[in-house]
């Protein structure tokens, strides 16, 4: 054999999949192909955006993401338990939206609003229709987690959560307009901002939401939104108010809230998976517990203020606080 032939390198063998998935010893799923290792700005911790490392955006990501006290050697190992991707999310939520629109249409055909008790209208005006401000805060909070998360698989979960919060806000706005058409003297579509900003029932949630939206560290934002604010909102507005609606003849409210809880359950599944992964790293439990110790009192205060205004529901606050506490305990946290 000639020296030239001996020196020639062996031809490269083509990979059957992306290099970061090649070690799985199986064909990667559609979820893995389109969801994993997409954040190129995690490649260089010192200069995440491959621009001047001293630009404000680079400093922001270094401080509030890369230097977060919550640590993990490989955030890209996180997987969504539901393995939702854009295609399947649209299929799933198209069905959800068809169901919700079907509820609206069917109730309108039956003359539903004309059968509601007049004394229930002030409750809806005070405790239901202003909720779109709170749902918008959840949307903003999820969008920040989406933006700052250290792995694309976390970002994707937060993205779909953001879209769900927008859907909840849209449902509430649609129902507000329906109520304004049928009950013009109750202030539907007119007084919600004033109620949100001034009524005692909402001030706990307003304080919690506004403070959560300026929790810049990505891990603290996740704890404040997904482990404190969102569960409190869900147990108060979706569960307790929904139950009160059923007791007062408002079946539609209960069904709408129940549909939104299906989304909330999925949000809790991915939040649970992320916490359990984080707890595998030494020191992270103390970080998460310290953050909960900071935010849970605000959550409990919000629950107390809101639930005290729900009529004929003396146990609403206690039940809601027990539910959110049980959720956090299921994560191995208090």
For 318, other C-beta atoms within 10 Å of its C-beta total: 12
Helices (H), the chain: 3-7, 30-35, 56-61, 86-109, 121-123, 131-148, 152-182, 192-198, 200-212, 218-222, 230-233, 241-247, 251-278, 284-307, 316-330
Angle at 215 (CA atoms; ends 170, 58), nearest 5 degrees: 105
pLDDT for 22: 46
pLDDT for 7: 60
Q: pTM for this one? A: 0.91
Q: Which domains does the chain have, with CATH numbers?
A: 77-330 (1.10.620.20)
The dihedral of CA 192, 195, 196, 198: what is its sign?
positive
pLDDT for 57: 96
Cα separation, 14 vs 16, whole angstroms: 6
Nearest 5°: phi and psi at 129?
-65, -30
pLDDT for 28: 86
For 132, other C-beta atoms within 10 Å of its C-beta total: 20
Residues of the chain with pLDDT under 70: 1-26
Nearest to 182 by CA among 142, 129, 228: 129
Helix (H, G, I), strand (E, B) or coil at 191: coil
pLDDT for 27: 77
């Amino acid at each position: 054999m000639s020296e030239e032939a001996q020196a020639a390198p062996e031809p490269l063998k083509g990979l059957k999949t992306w290099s970061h998935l090649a070690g799985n010893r199986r064909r990667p799923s559609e979820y893995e192909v389109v969801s994993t290792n997409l954040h190129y700005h995690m490649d260089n911790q010192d200069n995440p955006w491959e621009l001047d490392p001293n630009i404000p955006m680079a400093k922001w990501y270094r401080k509030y993401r890369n230097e977060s006290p919550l640590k993990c050697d490989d955030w890209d190992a996180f997987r969504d338990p539901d393995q939702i991707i854009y295609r399947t999310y649209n299929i799933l939520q198209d069905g959800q939206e068809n169901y919700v629109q079907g509820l609206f249409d069917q109730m309108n055909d039956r003359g539903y609003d004309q059968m509601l008790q007049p004394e229930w209208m002030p409750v809806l005006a005070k405790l239901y229709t202003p909720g779109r401000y709170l749902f918008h805060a959840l949307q903003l909070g999820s969008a920040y987690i989406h933006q700052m998360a250290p792995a694309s698989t976390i970002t994707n979960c937060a993205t779909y959560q953001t879209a769900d919060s927008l859907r909840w806000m849209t449902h509430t706005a649609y129902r507000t307009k329906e109520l304004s058409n049928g009950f013009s003297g109750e202030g539907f579509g007119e007084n919600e901002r004033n109620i949100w900003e001034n009524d005692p029932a909402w001030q706990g949630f307003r304080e919690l939401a506004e403070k959560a939206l300026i929790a810049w560290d990505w891990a603290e934002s996740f704890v404040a939104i997904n482990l404190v604010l969102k569960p409190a909102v869900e147990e108060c507005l979706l569960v307790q108010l929904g139950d009160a609606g059923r007791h007062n003849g408002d079946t539609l409210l209960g069904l709408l809230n129940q549909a939104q809880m299906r989304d909330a359950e999925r949000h809790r599944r991915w939040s649970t998976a992320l916490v359990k992964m984080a707890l595998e790293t030494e020191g992270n439990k103390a970080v998460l517990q310290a953050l909960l110790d900071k935010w849970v009192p605000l959550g409990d205060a919000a629950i107390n203020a809101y639930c005290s205004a729900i009529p004929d529901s003396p146990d609403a606050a206690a039940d809601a606080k027990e539910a959110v506490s049980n959720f956090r305990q299921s994560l191995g946290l208090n």
